[in-house]
Amino acid sequence: MKKKISIILLAVFGLILGWRIVLLFTSEENKNTGRTSRPPVAVEVDSVRFGPLTEIRQLTGTIHPLYQYIIAPKVSGRIVEIRKRIGDWIEAGEVIANLDDAEYQQGVLEAKANLRIAEASLKEAQIQLQQARQEKERVESLHAKGIASPAELETAVSSYSAQQSRLQLSKAQVEQRRASLKSAKIRLSYTILTAGQPGYIGERYVDEGALLAPNAPVVSIIGIDLVIVRTTIIERDYGYIQIGMPATVAVDAYPGQSFTGKVVRIAPLLQEAARVAQAEIEVVNNQKRLKPGMFARVDVVTAARENTQIVPSQAVVNRSGENVVFMVAENGSVARNIAVTVGIVTSKFSEILAPILSGKVITLGQHLLEDGSPIILPQSASVKEVTPDSTARKGR
């Protein structure tokens, strides 16, 4: 029994040893003939080129006027006239509406009458003071000669002091009446509503005949020679967008058209709930085509190169944290793995800062490749190398 088991074990060992020898010779033969066990991969290729490249960050926002304010009365009254309607242009200082001013006109007349009364009282007080001064001087002279008694002198001095106080009171009353008249005139002026800054009538809230309370809105005025696009920047883009960067604005009202502007303000903080920062883009609106409230799509140019080395973006892959591209070797049958430094990246092209590449770059199938992997090129692909100089001229 033991002898039979030993024979079986020796046979198994011999089979394993023979299989290993066969594998060893097969591997050596493959090495000598240059063949690998991996099948070739069909790929697509493109050229390395030189040309302009622009990096754009896309944002969305809403158009706002440069300024907007409400015209409202400071006093109550009934509107008797509104001279402007929606869309009308208004100059600074131009009259927009008038309130019924009969009550305020009467207030001015009453204030004027009260002022005249106060001025008359002032003149009377001045005359009485002059008389009291003369009487005091006469009694003082008689008292010095021993004719007037001390009581008479004291009475004259007291009367003179009283008239001085009355004169001061009359002067104060005149000042008070003048202030009242000025206030009445100011209230009367509030019945005429004028524009503080030039602009267009954006909204009209009331019509003639309406009875208004103080601060009730009548019309709104907007300035749109320059408009502001208010947008938000996500945290990922916050470090790329800077004040002064050029921007292009597009709206649905004018398909295929764009308006140029620039970033003028960026909030120094991000909203904690949404992780976004507010930003404003100024756009010159000389033709008044952009209107407040429009939805806007904004492209901000964060970087631009006039002539740089570029490859299709799908050609760049990340392997173990390193950006690489696969190039077609000179013999056109294998792929070569080259580590690259990437600059600007767009949806179509990526900038290669280093090294300078030459030849064809693989754009499809590279996820199946390793350095030295066999490849099958499309029938239309040429293995001819492309020099940086020739691609630079082509890019221009």
Is 213 a domain residue?
yes
Res. 5: pLDDT tops 80: no
pTM of the predicted protein model: 0.66
Residue 374 and residue 342 in one domain? yes
**pLDDT tens digits along 26-59:** 445 444 444 445 688 899 999 999 999 988 899 9
Is 11 a domain residue?
no
Residue 293 and residue 312 in one domain? no
Chain-wide mean pLDDT for the chain?
87
Is 173 a domain residue?
yes
In angstroms, the CA 125 to CA 129 distance is 6
Is 240 a domain residue?
yes
Res. 123: pLDDT tops 70: yes
Residue 133 and residue 146 in one domain? yes
Q: What CATH number corresponds to the domain at position 354?
A: 2.40.420.20
Residue 295 and residue 310 in one domain? no
Is 328 a domain residue?
yes
Is 16 a domain residue?
no
In angstroms, the CA 343 to CA 139 distance is 107
- Which of 244, 276, 304 is the last residue before a domain boundary? 304
Residue 166 and residue 112 in one domain? yes
Residue 83 and residue 211 in one domain? yes
Res. 14: pLDDT tops 80: no
**pLDDT tens digits along 239-265:** 999 999 999 999 999 999 999 999 999
- Which of 251, 277, 304 is the last residue before a domain boundary? 304
Is 68 a domain residue?
no
Print the domain residue range for 300: 222-304
Residue 314 and residue 299 in one domain? no
CB 179: neighbour CB atoms within 10 A? 12
**pLDDT tens digits along 132-163:** 899 888 888 888 887 878 888 888 889 889 99
Q: For the chain, what is the domain count?
A: 4
Which of 281, 282, 267, 283 is closest to 234 using CA atoms?
A: 267
